[in-house]
Amino acid sequence: MQDFFAFAYTPEGWAALVTLVAMEVVLGIDNLIFISILTNKLPPQHRVRARRLGIGAALIMRLLLLATISYIVAMTAPVFTAFGHPFSWRDLILIAGGLFLIWKATKEIHHSVDPEDHKDEMVGKAVNVTLGGAIFQILLLDLVFSVDSIITAVGMTEHLAIMYIAVIVAITVMLLAATPLANFIEKNPTIVMLALGFLLMIGTTLIADGMGFHVPKGYIYSAMAFSALVEGLNMLARRRTARRGGDNAGH
């Protein structure tokens, strides 16, 4: 047990822990956006439960992956070559997850932009978006993000204790942030479109990574932060305009 927490006796170990915790929390944003959008389509009484089950499943999945870390590392070994590029199981999982994200985000964007085209399907969709269906879709993306998260952790440190702590802290942050983020997205319709755009970008990045074209995460999150800042300024401008309109109407 003492060897398991050997990192705690060195400054380098604590630095690695803080860095990995920050990295895991940032990587969890992708997963959290998807969970928020998906669970907001459920009846209100099922939303919190779906988020807790989905995030709880993400924790269990990542802990299980850490327990089989030797197999996870082996997932980066090439299994076949196509178009001059060797593909591993990790690459295939990332490509499949990216395609699923792009399909899901495109479908939701089309539904938001052209709701008239879906009037006949409204009842069917209300029935189809069930708690079980939402959990299943969350689990699919949990698998993709979990594999990427664990492989990132393995690349940053060799201490299992650091990996376990970082994963648990990141999932705890996700659990605490899930409902406030989902409520914020629900109350601000324009944020939904922005979040769906993020999912499109994340899906494209996953596919590119799986095809061997690595896009630095810093570029992705910088673009997301800038877009969120611009949308925040737009929201502030709209609120001030509405407030001035109300004051003028009062006079």
Could you tell me if residue 100 is inside a domain? yes
Q: Is the dihedral of CA 194, 196, 200, 201 positive or negative?
A: positive
Q: What is the pLDDT of residue 251?
A: 56
| Residue 88: strand pairing partners | 78
Examine residue 56 and state whether it is found in any structural domain, yes or no: yes
Give the orientation angle of helix 131-156 with respect to helix 11-39, to 10 degrees: 160
Nearest to 60 by CA among 177, 155, 143: 143
Q: Mapping DSSP to helix (H, G, I), strand (E, B) and coil, where does residue 78 land?
A: strand
Per residue in 128-173, pLDDT (tens digit) is 467 888 888 888 888 888 887 777 777 777 777 888 888 888 889 8
Helix (H, G, I), strand (E, B) or coil at 79: strand
Does residue 221 fall inside a structural domain? no
Distance in angstroms (rounded) separating the CA atoms of residues 138 and 200? 16
CB 37 within 8 A of CB 108: yes
Task: Say what the pLDDT of residue 7 is.
Answer: 60
Beta partners for 81? 86
User: What is the value of pTM for the model shown?
Assistant: 0.71
- With b meaning 16 or more CB within 10 Å and e meaning fewer, what string describes 13-40? beebbeebbebbbebbbbbbbbbbbbbb
Q: How far apart are the first and last CA of the chain?
A: 72
Count of helix runs (H) and strand runs (E) in the chain = 9, 2
Distance CA 114, CA 73 (A): 44
- Would you state the pLDDT for residue 72? 73
Question: Would residue 70 count as lying in a domain?
Answer: yes
Which of 44, 46, 27 is closest to 171 using CA atoms?
27
- In a domain, residue 136? The reply is yes
Please check whether residue 225 lies inside any domain of the structure: no
pLDDT value of residue 117:
57
Range(s) of the domain holding residue 117: 6-215
pLDDT of residue 16: 77
In the chain, the number of structural domains is 1
What per-residue confidence (pLDDT) applies to 90? 83
Q: Which amino acid is at 30?
A: D
In a domain? residue 243: no
Q: What is the pLDDT of residue 5?
A: 61
In this structure, is residue 15 part of a structural domain?
A: yes
Whose CA is closest to 223, among 194, 185, 180, 192? 194
DSSP lists the bridge partners of residue 82 as: 85
Report DSSP letters for 12-26, one per residue: HHHHHHHHHHHHHHH
Residue spans of the chain under pLDDT 50: 1-2, 119-128
Host H or E run for residue 231: helix 217-250
